[in-house]
Structure 1
Amino acid sequence: MAKEIETGKPAAETNEIVCWNNLPDVTDRKFWEKQRSNPLYPEIRKNAQEACSQELISPMPHYYDVFVTGNRICYQEKLFSVQDFGSLAIACCIDQEPRFLKNIEDRLRLLLDLPTWILPAHDREKLNVSGKTVDIDLNSSKLADELSTLLYLLGPVLNHDLAEKLKAELFRRLVIPVEDAIGGKSPLPFWMLTNSNWNAVCTSGVVGAVLRLPMQATRRDGILNHMLETSKKFLDGFGPDFYCSEGISYFFFGFGHYMRMVMLLKQFDGRDLFEADPRAFKIAMFPENFMISPVCFPTYADIPIDFKLNPFLMELRDILIGRRNGFSCKVPPNGNLVSIAQFDNGLNALALQLSLFSGEPPFSPESCKTAPMNVFPSAESYIVRRTADTHLSVAFKGGSNNEMHNHNDVGSYIVAVDDTAVVTDPGKETYQARTFSERRYESDLLNSFGHSVPRIGGKLQTEMKHTGDTRARLLEEKLADGSPLFVRFDIRRPYQHVEGIEKLERSFSFARRDGEGFTVTDEAVFRDPLEFEDAVITFGEVRQLSEKTFLITEKGKSLLLEVDASLPFDFHIEIIKEQTDHKRPVNRMTFAVKEKVRQVKMTFKYSISQDNAAH
């Protein structure tokens, strides 16, 4: 499917203009008419028809919302709707209906009229919207990747002037800024230096675009080689235990784009980045190693509380590691319209699916195989899963407050009954201007107020950049089979701004035998009397059964909580009032010692209620 001028030499050894894609362009009628018999076709056509009925509105009137009101959503939703080419482009290639082509051209004209393709939240100095610079961000790189595929597939039938303008803009908005950075004409951008999802998303976008855009082979290969070196930094971000501190949804966002790049390069010239760097294979197993169950995940960091496994990406992962031969007959749902953090199942996802279609059964979460326990030593993160005849699973962490998409949550934990997290982490807030600014920890969902950790002397945990190291220190660990699990941390460091803390330890104990139970114990010693308060976070209904006993119920699953303390305490429930996508109230069960103390011990014992055991 490569378009290469015949010279008698491999294209990579010449300066001839080349481009490549994993699907042929629209003029290959034999290939495209054959796709009508593909089980994917009916849903692709249906989605394309629906896309044609949508009103196309420029997002530009909302570009400045984030600077005035902090709102990111209005602009992003309208932009994502316009740049949704997936089913439209594929249906246009198959059916060649004029209405599909017209709608695509209308979308292109609207996008080409935008002064920038980056998101306003990533243009804080307004240098891109004013035309003073051309940066590359998560959206512009992804969009350029999609549009380069669109140009390759539909270039022969697009309006000629529009196609030429699109090609010129792809070079201006993506290729030339990358070359300027590589060549030293401009500083290396943030995404080339970081080990976060930005690295993978932007690198993947650049690789996809330069493969498909017509350019000299030597020019293309120079960019590709630099991008492959850049992508190694992304793998560095997982650390020696292959843990993703960005959380599970950003794992799929970042590593999902990395996998798409890996597969595209494998299709292009046979190179296998998984084979070249064994870390990639181990990182690919993170979902099974991190999940509480296939439908329940720890919601650490900026994660939606209703996160579900992405079937398309799980199928792609399984193809890369040799578990599948190709994709199933299920069209991936469009993730474009909700959040930039969701994987974009657009044109390039469909192109991969058609190019590697096998018709095998769709991915099922139930196919995930997990161990009884996973430990990430470097991240100090533990997952302990229920067995076939038990109900209780837990996730807990030491960690630090210097993680990617960090929440101030050293010592946080999650308690699940069957597949439901009853005591939980509240996940992400609705993204707004402050979320990724110096004001981030004003949010009671992101600071430690929104996590099941202590507040001492009226003060919350702090983040590393203001106070130095905040990492918990592992003091004791017993993980032997057949005996209760026990882990104890010194968690003074995230409270180092509170004077006089001589001891602050949190221990976790989990037992399956002789009755299921999970116990969290805090022990503190202070030089001078201080206020001490502990918390439990839940979305569930809380019923107080006695002075120290509580029933917490979430989605029909219940936990018994027994609280014991060395000194009298007051209990009350607070609603955390922050803006969230899920709109559910977040309950903070607060347990505050009545007087200032020099020494205190507080224990939270969780067990299964009889209602759950009966099921």
Structure 2
Amino acid sequence: MNLQELLDIVQQMKPADLSLYYPQGDGAGFWAAARSAGALAQELDEIRAEAVRLDGQAIPELSYTLFSVFAETGSRLEYERVYFERRRRLNTYVLLALLAPEQAGIPEPLADILWAVCGEYTWCLPAHVPAQHDAADINRYIDLFSSETGFTLTEISLLLGERLPPLLRSRIRHEVELRIFRPFLEEGPYEWETARHNWAAVCAGSIGAAALLAVDDPDRLAGILLKTERAMGYYLEGFGDDGACLEGLGYWNYGFGYFTYYSDLLRSRSGGRLDWFRLEKVARIACFQQHCFIDGSLVANFSDSLPEVRVHTGLSHYLAGLLPEVERPPSALRAPYTEDHCSRWAPAVRNLLWSAGAPRADEAWRPASSYLPDAAWLVSRHVSEAGTFGFAAKGGHNAEPHNHNDLGQFILSGGGEVYAADLGSGEYTADYFGAGRYSYDCNGSQGHSVPVIDGRYQQAGLQFSATVLHAAASAEKDELTLELARAYGLAGLKALVRSLVWHKAGQPRLELTDSYRYEGSPASWTERFVTWRRPELLAPGAVLLPGSTGGGVEVTYDPQVVEPEITAHTYRDHFGRETLWHSLDFQVLQPGAEGELRFIFQFL
């Protein structure tokens, strides 16, 4: 779409008012009803409890010392904890004000945190601006969090309306113009405008959404929307036709969430003339969440993703109400108000707006197996009289967004416990996204259930890839066969075929076979399996991955071919906590020019 076509639509748009959020624009009626609606009682109790925690606390300061930590050490957590605590404070006091529509004005703590956020040196995180920059140019930088903040303040201003003091409303308009709209139009193009991952959706989506709420001049609004629409096109190019998000479910929640928040406002204001949800590909992306869950709150957490994910109920209900192929998630998977450590406003308020009155979902996901061919993911959720069991495995390549060197990686779970694990995302630091990325166990193949060959791990880059030889999903079994030789960059490795067969009996089992062909013989060959459980040697040919209350998974192997070795390791998880994991290594006793290594993982 060109600028003139977009301008024609913009000139006919409906007003940016409360009807974008509430039936007949009746915000007071909506929030009065929400207070007495049993369906939202738990969410509201969590918000009120957070207000009690905050009561009497001073607004934490974003000091120069905190801002400087990242440049000096590469650590992000010190500044970000305070930054996100301020956002939590903002969200909580705004939601409390909305829940009391009969009150005139706003309370002092809300006015003060709005003023404080408007006065921050930058809305960007230190990790996203150059360490050496001129303070006079600080507003030219736009990152995920600055764009989110612009959207947040603009939306709060619209929702609270005349209850906000005129000076606060004026300050918000001024700061959003200075930090978001003007640089977006005058300082770009920004690198994220053509990104094929979450940055395009979050940054452009937040700016486009804020513009839809606050920019009155049609020419200016059309100019912002033209850039936003182009960025959204690039974002969608990052998905294959299977709709899989290679960054994992957490980044689907994030990127596709902001894509949805923007697209909803665009669709509403344009009267449906601009509607991304008409695209079949967007509908397939919307279904990604229901494919990812394997066992309760456990997910296929490949890439920088957490092993357990709670759902954004607002986003989920909105998509299910719009697209019949989207399943509503079980209510038990609802993310509590305080779970988002980044304290993002847009999903927090929509968890209330879009969940009120939504139909109840089933108590659990239905059994399902999905093969996503573009991502080369096989994901299975098996339910039997013995309980729920999960299996996931992947191919792909080692240059994916938030890449891990993990071709052939698999996950096994049962009864809410993970037995073959993916470590997921570690603590984000400068080095984590720099030259040392693959020295971290959670990122390098040393921390994944894949072979170590001649002491060599998988390599990073697009050329280090897997080929899918066979993939199938049925009621009885799921199968994935991969050629992995190219993942290692070893001249002597001529073939490495990994076969994974998931037998879905009452107590399911996974059969894993690695067949290789080598020019000469490798000096060493290690079959590595990663687990949270501490493995126990049962007898020659059998190792137990124990469950916390009994049972578990028995791993059987040929003791004439391989010898087990158990090692404890630690890594720093996404929240900076030292976390224990175990490698169950099977050392091949006499590696030759050819070999077949077979293991059975049997649930007990």
Q: Structure 1-normalised TM-score?
A: 0.84
Amino acid of the residue matched to residue 481 of structure 2? Answer: R
The separation in 2 between residues aligned to 1:28 and 1:476, in whole angstroms, is 55
For the pair 1:383 / 2:395, whether they are aligned, the reply is: no
1:45, 1:91 within 8 Å by CA — same for their partners in 2?
Answer: yes
For the pair 1:573 / 2:573, whether they are aligned, the reply is: no
SS in 1 for 2:259: helix
Q: Given the superposition, is the C-alpha separation of residues 294 and 55 from structure 1 closer, same or farther in structure 2, using an over 3 Å criterion? A: same
Q: Give the deviation of 1:79 after TM superposition.
A: 0.9
The separation in 1 between residues aligned to 2:308 and 2:504, in whole angstroms, is 27
1:200, 1:234 within 8 Å by CA — same for their partners in 2?
Answer: yes
> Which residue of structure 2 aligns with residue 191 of structure 1?
192
Render the CA deviation track for 1:30-67: whole Å, top value 9, x for unaligned: 65884575435854555445444333112233112122
Q: Give the deviation of 1:275 after TM superposition.
A: 4.0
1:51, 1:88 within 8 Å by CA — same for their partners in 2?
Answer: no
SS in 2 for 1:118: coil
> Which residue of structure 2 aligns with residue 431 of structure 1?
428
The separation in 1 between residues aligned to 2:268 and 2:442, in whole angstroms, is 43
For the pair 1:74 / 2:78, whether they are aligned, the reply is: yes
Q: Given the superposition, is the C-alpha separation of residues 20 and 136 from structure 1 closer, same or farther in structure 2, using an over 3 Å criterion? A: farther
The separation in 1 between residues aligned to 2:504 and 2:327, in whole angstroms, is 36
Render the CA deviation track for 1:370-417: whole Å, top value 9, x for unaligned: 43x211112221123324345553211122111111111000011122
Q: Given the superposition, is the C-alpha separation of residues 353 and 247 from structure 1 closer, same or farther in structure 2, using an over 3 Å criterion? A: same
SS in 2 for 1:235: helix
> Which residue of structure 1 aligns with residue 59 of structure 2?
56
SS in 1 for 2:557: strand
Q: Given the superposition, is the C-alpha separation of residues 225 and 370 from structure 1 closer, same or farther in structure 2, using an over 3 Å criterion? A: farther
For the pair 1:523 / 2:515, whether they are aligned, the reply is: yes
SS in 1 for 2:535: strand
Render the CA deviation track for 1:423-461: whole Å, top value 9, x for unaligned: 111111122221222221110111000000011111111
1:88, 1:100 within 8 Å by CA — same for their partners in 2?
Answer: no
Q: Structure 2-normalised TM-score?
A: 0.86
> Which residue of structure 1 aligns with residue 221 of structure 2?
220
SS in 2 for 1:232: helix
2:500, 2:513 within 8 Å by CA — same for their partners in 1?
Answer: yes
The separation in 2 between residues aligned to 1:596 and 1:331, in whole angstroms, is 49
Unaligned runs of 5+ in 2: 1-7
Q: Give the deviation of 1:295 after TM superposition.
A: 2.4
For the pair 1:600 / 2:604, whether they are aligned, the reply is: no
Unaligned runs of 5+ in 1: 1-9, 181-185, 610-615
The separation in 2 between residues aligned to 1:156 and 1:74, in whole angstroms, is 36
Amino acid of the residue matched to residue 540 of structure 1? Answer: R
SS in 2 for 1:411: coil
Amino acid of the residue matched to residue 88 of structure 1? Answer: Y
> Which residue of structure 2 aligns with residue 86 of structure 1?
91
The separation in 2 between residues aligned to 1:474 and 1:513, in whole angstroms, is 25
Aligned pairs for 1:191-340 within 5 A: 191-271=192-272, 273-321=275-323, 333-335=336-338, 338=341, 340=342
For the pair 1:511 / 2:503, whether they are aligned, the reply is: yes
Q: Give the deviation of 1:86 after TM superposition.
A: 2.6
Aligned pairs for 1:157-172 within 5 A: 157-172=163-178
Q: Percent identity?
A: 21
Aligned pairs for 1:402-421 within 5 A: 402-421=399-418
Greater CA drift, 161-170 or 196-205: 161-170
The separation in 1 between residues aligned to 2:536 and 2:499, in whole angstroms, is 26
The separation in 1 between residues aligned to 2:215 and 2:571, in whole angstroms, is 52
1:118, 1:140 within 8 Å by CA — same for their partners in 2?
Answer: yes
For the pair 1:106 / 2:112, whether they are aligned, the reply is: yes
Aligned pairs for 1:334-353 within 5 A: 334-335=337-338, 338=341, 340=342, 344=343, 346=345, 349-350=348-349, 353=352
The separation in 1 between residues aligned to 2:138 and 2:348, in whole angstroms, is 33
1:86, 1:348 within 8 Å by CA — same for their partners in 2?
Answer: no
Greater CA drift, 574-583 or 541-550: 574-583
1:561, 1:604 within 8 Å by CA — same for their partners in 2?
Answer: yes
Amino acid of the residue matched to residue 53 of structure 1? Answer: G
2:480 aligned to 476, 487, 490, which one? Answer: 487
Amino acid of the residue matched to residue 57 of structure 1? Answer: P
Aligned pairs for 1:539-558 within 5 A: 539-556=532-549, 558=552
The separation in 1 between residues aligned to 2:602 and 2:335, in whole angstroms, is 39
How many residue pairs are counted as aligned between the two chains?
Answer: 577
Q: Given the superposition, is the C-alpha separation of residues 125 and 515 from structure 1 closer, same or farther in structure 2, using an over 3 Å criterion? A: closer
